[in-house]
Structure 1
Amino acid sequence: MKNKLQRVSTLTKYKNGKQEIISIILASILFIFGMIFKTKLHYTLYSLAEYFIFLSAYFLSGWDILTKAGRNIIKGKIFDENFLLGVATIGAISIHELPEAVGVMLFFKIGEFFQNMAVARSRQSIKALLEIRPDYANLKIGEEIKKVSPEKVKVGDIIVVKPGEKIPLDGEIIIGSSQVDTSALTGEPIPKEVEIGDIVLAGMINKTETLAIKVTKGFSESSVSKILNLVEKARSRKAETEKFITKFAKYYTPVVVFGALAVALVPPLITGASFSEWIYRALVLLVISCPCALVISIPLGYFGGIGGAAQRGILVKGANFLDTLTMVKTVVFDKTGTLTKGVFRVVQIVPKSGFTKEKLLQLAALAESQSNHPIALSILEVYSKKINPLEVQNYKEVAGHGIKAIVKNQIILAGSDALLHREGIKHDICDVEGTVVHVAVDGIYAGYIIIADELKEDALEAIQTLRKLGIRKIIMLTGDNKRVAKTVAKKLALDAYLAELLPEEKVNAIEKLIREAEKGEKISFVGDGINDAPVIARADVGIAMGAMGSDAAIEIADIVIMTDAPSKVAEAIRIARKTHKIVWENISFAFIVKGVFIGLGVIGMATMWEAVFADVGVALMAIFNAARVLR
């Protein structure tokens, strides 16, 4: 049903576009014929034939505008561009300036046609993004495959995805290996190799081999559903510039109308000049003053910015966040999963007297067995033995410190040095190079395990690019120990770092930076974990890593990076600045051109033809300029 409605909608748009072209061509032919008829055959101004030709062209090109103006007047929305054009052209006809009246309507119609083309083109990136929504899922029921709606598939069901099909839901591959196209989600053009055990996301396209996938998330919780939701929300959040222009146009148009009325009446009444001459000038003023260039091109500029970012795997949740991003002068990064891969591996096991490496690893694995933290997973991977979850009781995560659990009546601690101090565990080693998990059992220190985490490939490039963009401070906040933080900060040449922070301490650090920031300067925070959600929310611009980031961080962030690449932060700032620049180019250009032509119109040096350029020409140039954001 949905596809049928989409086809009907597309067909309707096609027919409407075809009708527009036909009416423009017919009106143009009549207009040209009318001009020849008038000048070559020297018909009088009051010739019925001349009126018939020009009025036919007028209504062909301007009927939509006149009816829109009429409908808006009935609704109480009197002062808009349709009203201005209607009054100006009807006035021109009343003073026997038929070619000018038709010319204004015809060229406005042509301009509007090109405007719609530009708008349609700028929407392609968003439209392409929305098309990642899967239409069906191949659900495996026993030995049969049934095509169903993705919404009807439950967690734990098995779906089959053939080559060329979209993956309809997030899940784990249980049979097969293939290449998947992730470009719709991440903006990355290179296909990704996947195999048994890998997680694939809804919206990816299977390229080479058939895959059997065990669904891990329902459709409403899938990556594609969240992306669609983010895009829809982005459309409703306007930038301050958009709000200003909308409000400005509301008051600007009535001022123009009454100003034109004053131009038409005051000089003839005071000086005795010809009414027809000053009415003509007033009509020219009405055409010049249409706010089309501003009202259309500015939202289009922001729409293009959001679309251009989406093409590059950066989801901006609203035009207002693009504006704020241009004012960012301090970027604060989380460490694990943001600047580093978050893929930990055990590199050293150091037991204390009375414990073996095997025993120390076992204790750590038992304590960490119910955690999904990357450090816990790395310990469990090395331990590799099966753990009975019923053996682990009173499991408790101590925020920012580690794990406390009871296993076979033994109290096991696994975490940071701070956890040992908190629990009063005596130990002679505090400072260890690298990410370290200290282990204690029944109050006795058992030793420590060193975990290594690598920097992301583009982490250094991200910092260097931010510096080139004029970002003054680049800071790292982490819950990891000071030695690890110092090593990472040194490798990336960061301005500062704070380590061993709890979630609330990260928030306090951001609030301090916000208080210390100069007027007009904003602070951005980039993170990925659930513990980053509060600080992402508190920053002026919160940015979340979308591929592996937590649901809470993604939900609360202003901008989501689908590739998890820190270099995309600089790219987002660059897109925001380009969008901002183009929007203000359009505002300045429109005001300058219209201001000049309004002055010329009042003193009688601008005709209706020049008024058409000042309106339609400026609008088109502004719109095509706005479309540059996509490139």
Structure 2
Amino acid sequence: MQRIYFLKGLDCPHCSAKIENDAGKIDGISLSRVNLMEQTLTLDSDKFLNSIDDEVEKIVHKYEPDVEVSIYDSSAHSHSHGAHTHGEESRSEDEEDLKPRIIRIAIGAVIYGAAVVSSKFINNIYFEIISLAAAFLILGGDVLLRAVKNILRGQVFDENFLMSVSSIGAFCIGSYTEAVAVMLLYQLGELFQDMAVGKSRKSIASLMDIRPDSANVIRDGKVVTVSPEDVKIGETIIVKPGEKVPLDGFVIEGKTMLDTMALTGESVPRSANVGDEALSGCINETGVIKIEVTKSFSESTVSKILSLIQNASSKKAPSENFITKFARYYTPVVVILAALIAVIFPLTIGGGFVKWVRQAFVFLVISCPCALVISIPLSFFGGIGSAARNGILVKGSNYLEALSKLDTLVLDKTGTLTEGVFAVREVLPAKDFSENDVLFASAYAESYSNHPIAQSIKSHFGEKINESIISDYTEISGKGISVKINGSEILAGNMRLMDEFNIKCEKCDKAGTVIYVASDGKYIGCIVISDKIKKDSASALENLRKMGVDNIIMLTGDNEKTASSVAEKLKIKKYFASLLPQDKVAKFEEIVSGKKTNGTTAFVGDGINDAPTLARADIGIAMGALGSDAAIEAADVVLMTDEVSLIAKAVKTAKYTKRIVTQNIVMSLGIKLLFLILGIFGIATMWEAIFSDVGVMMLAVLNSMRVLKK
């Protein structure tokens, strides 16, 4: 069973991790997930979950007293609107909730500034202390209150405790100005964090606008407006210009241009005529069209994408998990060290208790891990949003981090590196025969086949097939076709077919699929059919090499000659040809087992026959998987278009996000370590402590926000 809670007002990435961890420890809970973007807590269990509501609320309020907890019923009809509604609601509330905080911080800052300025002109210590105390309570009252509540709940060692003890201690030792400065800068840092989270949430939530609100369905000859969930498979819907396509289906009447930018990132609209597929989430730009629905709303493309977007932040990267665990043990350790500084150092080093108590408080301010616990999840959150805006759906920050370590890329050829559309490249007639003779015979021979190769021959022939002159059609498995046309026996197929009927002909060495054609036992020529390399394949692979993805391998079911030709054009040094779908999985296993590097391995496929290999890879990347259920389910990264350049863009985004995370870790730990050492030896003052804590936190948050601009 599953139960979802809506946590209204949840903005802190660190608190989210704590709530997720504690909720997962509730008896009977098998899985706990907090989605910061949606502000939800999802709990999985094998038993009835209503009895845990009070316990969940206590856990949430233990870390976030002001967050409102309510049931988010995933089984209700309204839930399908839930993500959209809550998303819009939370975005407006984010903006409204910030106003009183900004006003409070501004008032506290003005009083603080007035107290500091007046101390230069009014020699009245009592006025200064009262003014600074008032500013302190305005700025830090909520922090003090949370610290007290958490202590009463047994949650002692957290950032509220550290900020409260260190700032009150600063007051006690006469560092009034510094004590207020700690709270002022801390509140500014928290404000920046919430603004950054809100911006990230808006960035990702803007993608949710693809969700259609209604569908115009034809019932009993009338057009009825209903919810997309109420439309059944096989029903006909009408989509007018300017409306979103509400459900997946095929156009059965009319023609139009569809704006797919919200789904794929493509700026150029696609034409849609009778027989073409129309996917939910697209916007109808020009004409009125009728669509026969082929999928229920819950299985539609738009629902799959919404689900991916909503759950993207629930899978944590190793860096996030490490920092959460690090902070859990780090905070008690530094509190104990501060106590030892205050008690042991005066007895061993000397200098008096007042001096070392002051340094203990300085040490506490320095040690607060806010910069790490806030900026790292924020960076990944922004990275997922940045990727999504470019048509790259990453299922979790763990996959984004894995993508940043990519060093081996295995790609399927057809539909991934090539367009997957077969076309006649050359017609090579034998002596005494013309190109038209070869095309006529082969087109009529392939007239009953729907195979892409047959379709390409008929398309190139370009004339209407007169089926009345065709007789004795026989498909010879694995070899080709035998058919009579106007009484003449025509053979069309591979070299094995020619050998079986003792047709003498020379083997064609052209790259591609070769169809040999014979008439009445005599060879009349052959047709070379090949796929076309995508225009961005070469540049995309070159960009990947520049980013350190040196080991690029191609897998294909095509013959050696075709594979070699494509590999040569794309500068791929290693490839494997003539592979059946099941062979690809085995070959991929062989590649992974033979690796000598520690980087990750990704497989890129078109999402049709490649699902098993996608699932097996460290990172499965589904290329052009729009509308492919198998790809969306099996892949870890879904590229909404078939552009190879999106692979390079995904790796670039992942590496940039990881670089920001690494910068924040090095900057935060480096500065803190330096000032902790200075604090232990009594060199660092409260002002240095303030910079190393809230100053670094603000820098880390601002650095994290750079990801949103990529």
TM-score in terms of structure 1 length: 0.85
Measured at CA, do residues 459 and 5 of structure 1 come closer, stay the same or move farther in structure 2, by a change above 3 Å? closer
Q: Distance in 2 between matches of 1:67 and 1:209?
A: 61
Q: Deviations over 1:198-254 (max 9, x none)?
A: 322222222333333222322222222111222233212222222211111111111
Confirm or deny that 1:552 pairs with 2:627.
no
Q: What letter corresponds to residue 227 of structure 2 in structure 1?
A: S
SS in 2 for 1:131: helix
Query: Which of 111, 124, 127 is matched with 2:189 structurally?
Result: 111
SS in 2 for 1:172: strand
The gaps in structure 2 that reach 5 residues or longer are 1-77, 431-436, 468-474, 482-490
Confirm or deny that 1:22 pairs with 2:103.
yes
Range that drifts further, 179-188 or 589-598: 179-188
Q: Deviations over 1:80-124 (max 9, x none)?
A: 211110111122233343332222111211121122222222333
Q: Distance in 2 between matches of 1:210 and 1:74?
A: 64
Query: Which of 536, 539, 543 is matched with 2:614 structurally?
Result: 536
Measured at CA, do residues 402 and 320 of structure 1 come closer, stay the same or move farther in structure 2, by a change above 3 Å? farther
Confirm or deny that 1:504 pairs with 2:582.
yes
Q: Distance in 1 between matches of 2:277 and 2:189?
A: 49
Per the TM alignment, residue 301 of structure 1 is displaced from its structure 2 partner at its CA by: 1.5
Query: Which of 95, 112, 115 is matched with 1:31 structurally?
Result: 112
Per the TM alignment, residue 508 of structure 1 is displaced from its structure 2 partner at its CA by: 2.2
Instruction: Give the conservation status (yes or no) of the 8 Å contact 2:438–2:525.
Output: no
Query: Which of 661, 671, 677 is matched with 1:593 structurally?
Result: 671
Instruction: Give the conservation status (yes or no) of the 8 Å contact 1:528–1:549.
Output: no
SS in 1 for 2:596: coil
Measured at CA, do residues 176 and 69 of structure 1 come closer, stay the same or move farther in structure 2, by a change above 3 Å? farther
Alignment of 1:187-198 (within 5 A): 187-198=265-276
Range that drifts further, 600-609 or 223-232: 600-609
Q: What letter corresponds to residue 32 of structure 1 in structure 2?
A: G
Q: Distance in 1 between matches of 2:541 and 2:645?
A: 8
Alignment of 1:380-399 (within 5 A): none
SS in 2 for 1:336: helix
RMSD: 3.8
Q: Distance in 1 between matches of 2:493 and 2:605?
A: 21
The equivalent residue for 1:155 is 233
Q: What letter corresponds to residue 104 of structure 2 in structure 1?
A: S
The equivalent residue for 1:391 is none
Q: Distance in 1 between matches of 2:248 and 2:405?
A: 36
Measured at CA, do residues 606 and 290 of structure 1 come closer, stay the same or move farther in structure 2, by a change above 3 Å? same
Range that drifts further, 119-128 or 568-577: 119-128
The equivalent residue for 1:622 is 700
Q: Deviations over 1:243-290 (max 9, x none)?
A: 211111111111111111111111223355332221121111111111
Instruction: Give the conservation status (yes or no) of the 8 Å contact 1:132–1:203.
Output: yes
Q: Distance in 1 between matches of 2:494 and 2:347?
A: 88
Measured at CA, do residues 351 and 212 of structure 1 come closer, stay the same or move farther in structure 2, by a change above 3 Å? same
The equivalent residue for 2:540 is 462
Q: Distance in 2 between matches of 1:113 and 1:6?
A: 20
The equivalent residue for 1:221 is 299
Alignment of 1:328-407 (within 5 A): 328-345=406-423, 364=446, 366=448, 368-369=449-450, 374-375=452-453, 378=456
Measured at CA, do residues 416 and 518 of structure 1 come closer, stay the same or move farther in structure 2, by a change above 3 Å? farther
The equivalent residue for 1:13 is 94
Alignment of 1:247-396 (within 5 A): 247-271=325-349, 273-345=351-423, 364=446, 366=448, 368-369=449-450, 374-375=452-453, 378=456
Q: What letter corresponds to residue 103 of structure 1 in structure 2?
A: A
The gaps in structure 1 that reach 5 residues or longer are 388-394, 405-412
Q: Distance in 2 between matches of 1:178 and 1:549?
A: 19
Measured at CA, do residues 74 and 619 of structure 1 come closer, stay the same or move farther in structure 2, by a change above 3 Å? same
Instruction: Give the conservation status (yes or no) of the 8 Å contact 2:443–2:454.
Output: no
The equivalent residue for 2:434 is none
The equivalent residue for 1:186 is 264
Range that drifts further, 378-387 or 614-623: 378-387
Instruction: Give the conservation status (yes or no) of the 8 Å contact 1:342–1:374.
Output: no
Per the TM alignment, residue 197 of structure 1 is displaced from its structure 2 partner at its CA by: 3.2
Q: What letter corresponds to residue 158 of structure 1 in structure 2?
A: T
SS in 2 for 1:536: helix
Q: Distance in 2 between matches of 1:159 and 1:12?
A: 36
Q: Deviations over 1:281-303 (max 9, x none)?
A: 11111111111111111111222
Measured at CA, do residues 550 and 118 of structure 1 come closer, stay the same or move farther in structure 2, by a change above 3 Å? closer
Alignment of 1:38-49 (within 5 A): 38-44=119-125, 47=126
Per the TM alignment, residue 626 of structure 1 is displaced from its structure 2 partner at its CA by: 1.8
Confirm or deny that 1:235 pairs with 2:313.
yes
Q: What letter corresponds to residue 72 of structure 1 in structure 2?
A: N
- Return the structure number with greater relative CO, CA threshold 8 A, min gap 6: 1
Q: Distance in 1 between matches of 2:584 and 2:87?
A: 47
Query: Which of 125, 130, 140 is matched with 2:218 structurally?
Result: 140
Query: Which of 649, 653, 664 is matched with 1:575 structurally?
Result: 653
Q: Distance in 1 between matches of 2:415 and 2:201?
A: 33
Q: Distance in 1 between matches of 2:610 and 2:494?
A: 19
Instruction: Give the conservation status (yes or no) of the 8 Å contact 1:350–1:357.
Output: no
SS in 2 for 1:288: helix
SS in 1 for 2:417: coil
Alignment of 1:110-129 (within 5 A): 110-129=188-207
Measured at CA, do residues 357 and 589 of structure 1 come closer, stay the same or move farther in structure 2, by a change above 3 Å? closer
The equivalent residue for 1:480 is 558
Instruction: Give the conservation status (yes or no) of the 8 Å contact 1:545–1:564.
Output: yes
Range that drifts further, 168-177 or 557-566: 168-177
Alignment of 1:422-437 (within 5 A): 433=510, 434-436=512-514
The equivalent residue for 2:43 is none
Range that drifts further, 7-16 or 446-455: 446-455
The equivalent residue for 2:45 is none
TM-score in terms of structure 2 length: 0.76
Q: Distance in 2 between matches of 1:588 and 1:247?
A: 17
The equivalent residue for 1:565 is 643
Per the TM alignment, residue 4 of structure 1 is displaced from its structure 2 partner at its CA by: 6.3
Measured at CA, do residues 414 and 360 of structure 1 come closer, stay the same or move farther in structure 2, by a change above 3 Å? closer
Instruction: Give the conservation status (yes or no) of the 8 Å contact 1:172–1:216.
Output: yes
Q: Distance in 1 between matches of 2:589 and 2:492?
A: 31
Instruction: Give the conservation status (yes or no) of the 8 Å contact 2:196–2:378.
Output: no
Q: Deviations over 1:126-185 (max 9, x none)?
A: 111122222222223344332221111222222222333222222223333333332221
Per the TM alignment, residue 549 of structure 1 is displaced from its structure 2 partner at its CA by: 7.4
Q: Distance in 2 between matches of 1:157 and 1:438?
A: 45
Measured at CA, do residues 356 and 626 of structure 1 come closer, stay the same or move farther in structure 2, by a change above 3 Å? closer
Q: Percent identity between the aligned chains?
A: 47
Instruction: Give the conservation status (yes or no) of the 8 Å contact 1:296–1:623.
Output: yes
Per the TM alignment, residue 351 of structure 1 is displaced from its structure 2 partner at its CA by: 12
Q: What letter corresponds to residue 28 of structure 1 in structure 2?
A: A
Measured at CA, do residues 52 and 450 of structure 1 come closer, stay the same or move farther in structure 2, by a change above 3 Å? same
Q: Distance in 2 between matches of 1:483 and 1:548?
A: 31
The equivalent residue for 2:16 is none
Q: Deviations over 1:418-467 (max 9, x none)?
A: 9x79x999887776642256899xxxx99987543222121222232223
Q: Deviations over 1:547-582 (max 9, x none)?
A: 467432332112111111112112222222212211
Alignment of 1:439-454 (within 5 A): 451-454=529-532
Instruction: Give the conservation status (yes or no) of the 8 Å contact 1:139–1:157.
Output: yes
Measured at CA, do residues 542 and 415 of structure 1 come closer, stay the same or move farther in structure 2, by a change above 3 Å? farther
Q: Distance in 2 between matches of 1:414 and 1:224?
A: 43
Measured at CA, do residues 224 and 28 of structure 1 come closer, stay the same or move farther in structure 2, by a change above 3 Å? same
The equivalent residue for 1:199 is 277
Q: What letter corresponds to residue 517 of structure 1 in structure 2?
A: K
